[in-house]
Amino acid sequence: MATVGIGIIGFGVVGGGVVDVLAKDRAVIAARTGADLELRAVVSLPPYQRTDVLGASLGKDLAAITNDPAIRIVLLLVGGTTFAKDMCLACLKAGKHVVTSNKALIAEHGDALFAVAKEHKVAIAFEAAVAGGIPIIGALRDGLAANRIESITGILNGTCNFILTMMEQKQWSYQQALAEAQRLGYAEADPTLDVNGTDTAHKLAILSRIAFGIRVPLAALRIEGIQNVTAQDMASAARLRSRIKLLAMATQRPEGLELHVAPTLVPLDHPLAAVHMNYNGVYVVGSNSGPQLYTGQGAGALPTASAVLSDVIDVALGRAEQTFGSFGFVHHPTPPSFLPEAEERTASYARFVSPDKPGILAGITQILSSKGISIRSIFQGEADAQGQASIELVTHPARGGDFLDAVAEIDRKQLTAAPTVCYRRL
């Protein structure tokens, strides 16, 4: 068994997790997989939270990695896309394989980096970039290699899922739940990229690339976050035997690929409804495999280290090079067409706040019917002190544009007294 030298760039939570796993289990991993991993250098900007690096060097100079011929694999564990991209390019050009957990880097600069990697005959691996410890990249790329992927529906951001779970279980407001997530370390001080759906979108772009063999410009993705989800929305969902989850969805339709990130009503009997707290879940439908569900912890030091090291082992054994060299990251025979929102097919939820007077319900249902939208269930409670009643309904799947047109017409005809709240429903 040959010893394989590795270097780490970025010594934060994930880097620390990798060191902890190697400290405890280097021999176990070697016995199991045939890959004996020797950490030789950690490159990170001081000050250092910790200095135990298993006898490796610790400093800020990248040359400790690029000039060490014994280091074959670099673990790029920093966030952002500017510094990370420079580091990645430097390592690839020095002939090092790169394993990274940086989803933004792969989603935004994957093409450029893959090209440089191929030129230098090294591999880039990024299992840790999506869904933390769940080996979903490997499953889509290798395990389901003999399928056409029909759809991917994912809960891909643990921060959002924690917040939504807290809102549901404790009847908290978004702000209360966010504060609790920050207190427990599930949300960062600036949670913007998590809660506004950007992080989820990066992950969806990566999964779509693997699953559908296409480039996914982030501009092709409709992205909606969870900041506007209210306690009332959660209660409405519960009454409809559903939960609100931030879903990333990629669906192959005959007319094109439908891609979006949005808070969505998930019926309780759908497997994704049971994915709680900081967990991630990915529901994949393959043409031969049928529907499958993968769930697990999507972030955190050790789950992410688990994914990073699975890639490192794959590279060390020579498998990743083989995969990276032959896998068609862009193999779709025709340039894909991305469906505009109007062309999506989706069931929807709407809550109309209306004056409690004759003709309102008839007006709303007539407009929906005129657009060809069929109502699956409807609920109206007593009017409140202001004489306003909430009418909540769920539609059968319909063309998204028709539904939005109907809602706009209902609002325009003054059948409502406040802006209508709409969600997709799975």
Active centre residues (catalytic): 203
Query: Which residues contact residue 302 at a Cβ distance below 8 angstroms, ignoring those fewer than 6 apart?
Result: 17, 20, 21, 133
> With CB under 8 A, what is the number of residues at the site for a second copy?
61
Kindly state whether residue 55 participates in binding a second copy, applying the rule CB under 8 A: no
Longest dimension (CA), the chain: 81
The correct pick among 14, 29, 214, 339 for binding a second copy (CB under 8 A) is 29
Q: Which two tokens stand for residue 271?
A: 């497997």
Dihedral angle computed from the Cα positions of residues 212, 191, 15 and 201, in that order, rounded to the nearest 10 degrees: 0
The CA radius of gyration of the chain, in Å to the nearest whole number, is 24
Does 293 bind a second copy (CB under 8 A)? Our answer is: yes
C-beta of 165: minimal distance to a second copy in Å? 14
* Residue 3 host element (H or E): strand 3-9
Q: Please state the closest distance from residue 330 (CB atom) to a second copy, in A.
A: 10
SS3 state at 76: strand
- Cβ proximity to a second copy: between 69 and 328 the closer is 328
Closest contact distance (angstroms) between CB of 298 and a second copy is: 10
Stretch that binds a second copy, among 64-72, 98-106, 164-172, 320-328 (CB under 8 A): 320-328
Could you say which of 35, 64, 87, 99 contacts a second copy (CB under 8 A)? 35
Using CB under 8 A as the binding rule, whether residue 267 contacts a second copy is answered as: no
| Strand residue runs (E) in 10-130 | 36-43, 57-59, 71-76, 97-100, 124-125
* Shortest distance (Å) from residue 1 CB to a second copy: 8
Closest contact distance (angstroms) between CB of 14 and a second copy is 12
In angstroms, the CA 323 to CA 138 distance is: 10
**Closest separation between CB of residue 278 and a second copy, Å?**
10
The DSSP H or E segment spanning 369 is helix 360-370
The owner of tokens 């990370």 is: 84
Contact in structure between 187 and 194 (CB atoms under 8 Å): yes
Task: Return d(Cα 245, Cα 165) in angstroms, integer.
Answer: 8
185 binds a second copy (CB under 8 A): no
Q: Is 344 in the site for a second copy (CB under 8 A)?
A: no
Residue 215 near a second copy by CB under 8 A: no
**297 beta partners:** 279
- Comparing CB distances to a second copy, the nearer of 289 and 365 is 289
Pick the closer one to a second copy by CB: 185 or 387. 185
**Binding test (CB under 8 A) with a second copy, winner from 153, 161, 264, 310:** 310
CB-CB contact of 87 with 21 (8 Å): no
Tokens of 338: 């991305």
The DSSP secondary structure of 41-87, one letter per residue, reads EEE-PSSPS----TT-EEES-THHHHT-TTEEEEEE---SSHHHHHH
- From the list 10, 225, 263, 296, which residue makes contact with a second copy (rule: CB under 8 A)? 296
Which residues of the chain form contacts with a second copy (CB under 8 A)?
1, 17, 21, 25, 28-29, 31-35, 127, 133-135, 138-139, 142-148, 213, 271, 274, 286-297, 300, 302-303, 305-307, 309-310, 312-314, 317-319, 322-323, 325-328, 331, 333
